[in-house]
Each structure stands twice: as C-alpha cells, then as structure tokens.
C-alpha cells in the first residue's frame, strides 16, 4: 500500500490516464478526490473505487476556472484533513494547428487548461503542503513538451511550459519537503483526440513524421498510472524537478 491514507487530488480523473491513476492510487490506499468536468463520469469512477473497497469523493472542476480549482483542493482538505498529493492531469489538444493557422481562441483555451489550471492548483496547494511539512506534485506533460513537433503550436508550447513550471517548483520547494515532477507520455489510448473536428492537415502531417520512423503500439493508460504512482510515492523520494518519459521508445530515435 504505497499511498496508505494519503489524500490525493487528480484532475481529469474521470477518463483515460486520470481514471487509471485514480483507480490505482485508491487500490494503493489513497483517499482520492476525483476531479473532472464530467459529473456523470466522475460518479462512475467514485462508485468503481468504492465497490473495490477504496475511498473517493468527486469534485466537478473545470480547471480553466480558478474557483473550481480552489474548490477541488478544499474538498481534499475538508474531507480528508490534508493534501498529500496533487496530480495535474487534465489537458486538451489543439487540433494540430500550426503557428500560422492557430487562432486566438484555440491558443487561449489550450493555455488556460494545460498551463494556467496546473499553475493555479499548485499555487493553492503549496501553502497547505508547506504547513504540513511536505507533499508531492505530479504534472502530466507530454513528449510534445520535450520536442518540437509532436502536436500543434499551442499544445507544444503549453507542455514546454508545464515542464518549465515543474522544474521551477521542484527546485524552489524541494528544501521544504515538496517534490514536483512531470510525466511525458507518448501515444496513449485516451479520449483526448486531436482537439478539434477539423484538424490542421499540414500540422498532422508534420507531427506524424517522427511516428512514421517506428511503428509503435498505443500505450495503455495503466502504463502512465504506474509512473504516476512511482512519482507520488516514497519510492521516488530522491526524484525531484525532473521529467519521466513514458513513450515506449518513440523519442529514443
């Protein structure tokens, strides 16, 4: 039970990688706040955890809204008395829009959800973790945050920002007992899609260039959840301010 009695908030926890994290963390003894924008899906995950003997509570949260972010953190403290682990997992794609085709609306939406949301959650969590004497933050980044063309311009920029934020927080708060790391998944089977009904054809062509170099299976969300568990637990006690790539070897070329 690597997370016995730990209070955990996971965003985007009603589907995909976030759901896999919520189920695994609960199995490992955590008390989980299942935060997501989809209320029905939240309840389904909470019930699945309860049926398996775990502890979870739902929190409807659009991470682009500061009041929602604050409420989900408050839910953990009010229901479980503390906040041990924050997982910023919610995110969206950008329809593979290139730098010349990206709209202000798409750019702003991607940045609000992928960057500003995690920043606000971290900003809310840090005083709580400082008062407790420690805590763990795990951010879902992407191989798109390590390289230049795994997605469109907005998504690529947003995930580079998440990695920069991760390193900043990890270094500045490590001496206070707070670790902050990121996961950079590759292609994983989730419902994130490409972020639009009419993706940019040139953008997709450019993004797929690297993938064409090696035929690869799409990863199971459970693979990413296992990495998140490692980073959230004491198994990674000396891991801080860094990024763990989990892409099946896609970026090894």
Q: Is 155 a catalytic residue?
A: yes
Among 41, 140, 135, CA closest to 90: 140
Cβ(113)–Cβ(156) below 8 Å = no
Q: How far apart (Å, rounded) are the C-alpha atoms in residues 198 and 202?
A: 12
Catalytic residue among 155, 173, 223, 253: 155
Q: How far apart (Å, rounded) are the C-alpha atoms in residues 84 and 5?
A: 9
Identify the sign of the CA torsion 108, 114, 115, 117: positive
Q: How far is CA 131 from CA 33, 69, 120, 126, 135, in A?
A: 20, 19, 18, 9, 10
SS3 call for 156? helix
Cβ(85)–Cβ(30) below 8 Å = yes
Residues involved in catalysis: 155
């Amino acid at each position: 039970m690597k997370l016995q009695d730990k209070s955990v908030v996971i965003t985007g926890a009603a589907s995909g990688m976030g759901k896999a994290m919520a189920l695994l963390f609960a199995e490992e003894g955590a008390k989980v706040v299942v935060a997501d924008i989809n209320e029905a899906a939240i309840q389904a995950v909470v019930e699945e955890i309860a049926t398996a003997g775990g502890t979870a509570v739902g929190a409807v949260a659009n991470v682009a809204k500061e009041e929602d972010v604050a409420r989900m953190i408050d839910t953990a403290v009010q229901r479980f008395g503390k906040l041990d682990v924050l997982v910023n997992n919610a995110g969206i794609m950008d329809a593979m829009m290139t730098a010349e085709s990206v709209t202000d609306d798409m750019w702003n939406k991607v940045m609000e959800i992928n960057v500003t949301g995690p920043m606000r959650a971290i900003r809310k969590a840090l005083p709580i973790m400082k008062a407790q004497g420690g805590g763990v933050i795990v951010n879902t980044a992407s191989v798109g945050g390590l390289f230049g063309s795994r997605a469109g311009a907005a998504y690529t920029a947003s995930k580079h920002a998440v990695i920069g934020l991760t390193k900043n927080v990890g270094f500045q708060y490590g001496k206070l007992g707070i670790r902050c790391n990121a996961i950079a998944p590759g292609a994983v089977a989730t419902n994130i899609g490409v972020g639009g009904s009419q993706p940019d054809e040139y953008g997709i062509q450019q993004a797929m260039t690297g993938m064409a170099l090696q035929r690869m299976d799409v990863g199971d969300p459970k693979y990413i959840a296992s990495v998140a568990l490692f980073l959230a637990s004491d198994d990674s006690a000396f891991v801080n301010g860094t990024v763990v790539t989990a892409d099946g070897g896609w970026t090894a070329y």
